[in-house]
Amino acid sequence: MWWIAVFLAQDAASQADRVRTAMAKSLEQQRASIERQVAAVSKTPAGRAAAAPMNVSVSAAMWVPAMAQCDPVPQPELVRMIGETSVKIGIDGGLVKEVARQESGFRPCAISPKGAEGLMQLMPATQAQFSVSNPFDPQQSLEAGSKLLKQLLERYHGDLTLALSAYNAGAGCVDRSGGVPDIQETKNYVLSILSRAANFDNPGLQDLGVVPPISSSLGKGCQPVVPSEDFIAPFD
């Protein structure tokens, strides 16, 4: 049976190579875009202030493999992309930003142990659903994650608590639970994002800063789809 172990090891290595290749291309494009933007905005005092480097702390609990280390998307680039995406998709830009903050700390190359990838931590099925060709491309990730969020908000009739729970643990888990699943990670995830509701654009969503009670109903076998650790990037 030694040949099976060899085959599996080779397959894992080839998969890692594919991920590295995809990330390298995306990061090269991102760096080029950032350099062009920084060069443009740095000509003014306001631009220099906006483009100044920012220190972003990352909890050691966030699992980012060595091959996926990269800097967060700089604020000017992030604001531009989220603004364009929120208008295009028709969703609250502040909500998208806080989900991205929770999912990846704005790092476009983040990878979770469960296989979620990119800025919005898209699972392979979500990538396929929204025709994402490169999950490490921040623009593609933002658009797909925003589309998923909008779908979930429509599915749960505007209930943001349930929509966020489904983004983390999966809609099937939320449906079986009849509310927020009794998964500590998911409850922390929802509470963390809602605690920053003041950053949402829509005043109606900002009212959710007063967090409603969370259901303790747990569907059998429910596990979080995206194992998002409790780390928040102080990046406004």
Catalytic residue selected from 77, 98, 103, 143 = 103
The CA R_g of the chain, rounded to the nearest whole Å, is: 18
- N-to-C CA span, the chain: 53
Q: Is 185 designated active site?
A: no
68's tokens: 């996926």
CA dist 110 and 204 (Å) reads 31
Cα angle 8, 9, 11 (rounded to 5 degrees) comes to 65
174's tokens: 């939320």
CB atoms within 10 A of CB 69: 10
CA dist 16 and 109 (Å) reads 13
CA dist 108 and 199 (Å) reads 21
Catalytically active residues are: 103
